[in-house]
Structure 1
Amino acid sequence: MRHTNVRALVRDRRYRMFWLGQATSTLGNQLTVVVLPALVVPGRGAGTFGLLLAVESTVMGVLLLLGGVVADRCSRSLVMAVADVFRLVGVGGFMLLASRGPLAPLLVAAALTGAGAALYEPAHRAALSQVVREDLRQQANAVDAATRRLGGLVGSLLAGVLLSGVSPPRTLLVDLTTFVISLVTLVWLRLPRVKTERGEEQEQQGLRAVFAEAKSGLVEVRRRPWVGAVMLQGTAQVFFLFGPNFVLVPMVSQQRYGLGAFGWVSAATFVGSLLGSVAGGRIASGRPGLWAMNALAPCVLTPVCLMVEVPLWGFCLGLAAGSLGVGCFMVLWYSSLQSEFPDRLQGRVFALEALASFGLQPVALAAAPLLVALMGITPFAIVAVVVLVTSTYVVLIVPGVVPLASPAAVKDRLDRAAVTALS
Structure 2
Amino acid sequence: MTQARARTLLRDPRYRTFWLGQVTSTLGNQLTIVVLPALVVPGRGPETFGLLLAVESVVMGVLLLVGGVVADRYSRSRVMAVSDVLRLAGVAGFLFFADRGPLLPLLLAAALTGAGAALYEPAHRAALAQVVDEELRQQANAFDSATKRVGGLAGSLLAGLLLANISPPRTLVIDLVTIAISLVTLVWLRLPRVRPQDLEQDEAQGIGAVLAEARAGLAEVRRRPWVSAVMLQGTAQVFFLFGPNYVLVPMVSQQRYGVEAFGWISAATFVGSVLGSLAGARITSKRPGLWAMNALTPCLLTPVCLMADVPLWLFCVAMAIGSVGVGCFMVLWYTALQNEIPEEVQGRVFSLEALASFGLQPIALAAAPVLVSLMGITPFAVLAMIVLLISTYAVLFVPGTVRLASPLKTEPVPAAAR
TM-score, scaled to structure 1: 0.95
**Residue number in structure 2 paired with 1:252:** 252
1:182 is matched with 182
Q: Equivalent residue for 1:31? A: 31
Q: Whole-Å Cα distance in 2 between the matches of residues 62 and 262 of structure 1?
A: 31
The one-letter amino acid of 2:210's match is V
Structure-2 separation of matches of 1:324 and 1:175: 29
The reply on whether 1:277 has 2:280 as its aligned counterpart is no
Equivalent-residue separation in structure 1 for 2:198 and 2:226 (angstroms): 27
Distance 1:280 1:309 in 2: 32
Deviations 1:306-339 (A, max 9, x none): 0100000000000111111000000000000000
Tell me what 1:332 maps to: 332
Partner of 1:16: 16
Which residue of structure 2 aligns with residue 420 of structure 1? none
Match of 2:376 in 1: 376
Q: Residue 404 of structure 1 aligns to a residue in which SS? A: coil
2:401 partner SS: coil
Asked if 2 retains the 8 angstrom alpha-carbon contact of 1:123 and 1:347, the reply is yes
Residue 147 (structure 1) shift? 1.5
Q: CA deviation at 1:409?
A: 5.1
The one-letter code sitting in structure 1 at the alignment partner of 2:392 is: T
> Residue 193 of structure 2: SS of its match in structure 1?
coil
Alpha-carbon deviation of 1:280? 0.4
The match for 1:131 is 131
In the alignment, the residues of structure 2 paired with residue 181 and residue 155 of structure 1 have an alpha-carbon distance, to the nearest angstrom, of: 15
Give deviations 1:33-85, integer Å, cap 9, x for gaps.
10011111111111111100000000000000000000000000000000000
Once the two structures are TM-superposed, the CA of residue 196 in structure 1 deviates from its matched residue by 2.2
Paired position in structure 1 for 2:105: 105
Q: 1:3 Cα shift?
A: 3.2
State the alpha-carbon separation in 2 of the partners of residues 199 and 105 from structure 1. 39
Report what 1:150 is aligned to.
150
The equivalent residue for 1:172 is 172
Q: Quote the residue 1:231 is aligned against.
A: 231
Task: State the 1:402 CA deviation.
Answer: 0.2
Match of 2:415 in 1: none
Match of 1:62 in 2: 62
Q: Structure 2: how far apart are the matches of 1:198 and 1:97?
A: 46
Contact 2:74 2:195 in 1 (8 A): no
* Alignment-derived partner of residue 215 in structure 1: 215
Q: Which runs of 5+ in 2 are unaligned?
A: 411-418
Q: Provide the C-alpha distance between the structure 2 equivalents of 1:245 and 1:207, rounded to a whole number of angstroms.
A: 36
Which residue in the other structure is 2:240 paired with?
A: 240
Distance 2:278 2:210 in 1: 37
Separation in 1, partners of 2:181, 2:40: 26
Larger deviation, residues 89-98 vs 198-207: 198-207
Which residue of structure 2 aligns with residue 73 of structure 1?
73
Matches within 5 A, 1:184-199: 184-196=184-196
Tell me if structure 2 keeps the 8 A contact 1:202–1:213.
Answer: no
Q: What is the Cα deviation at residue 5 of structure 1?
A: 2.2
Q: Percent identity?
A: 75
Contact 2:73 2:195 in 1 (8 A): no
The residue that corresponds to 1:292 in the other structure is: 292
How far 1:8 sits from its partner (Å)? 1.1
Partner of residue 414, structure 2 = none
Counterparts of 1:202 and 1:134, CA distance in 2 = 31
Secondary structure, in 3 states, of the residue corresponding to 2:259? coil
3-state SS of 1:408 partner? coil
CA contact (8 A) 2:301 2:318 kept: yes
With normalisation by structure 2, the TM-score equals 0.96
The one-letter amino acid of 1:407's match is: P
- Mapped pair 1:44 → 2:44: yes
**3-state SS, counterpart of residue 204 of structure 1:** coil
Q: For residues 88-135 of structure 1, what are the alpha-carbon distances to aligned partners after superposition, in whole Å with 9 as ceiling and x for unaligned?
A: 110111111111111111000000000000001100000001100110
Q: CA RMSD in A?
A: 1.3
Q: Matches of 1:344 and 1:66 in 2, distance apart?
A: 15
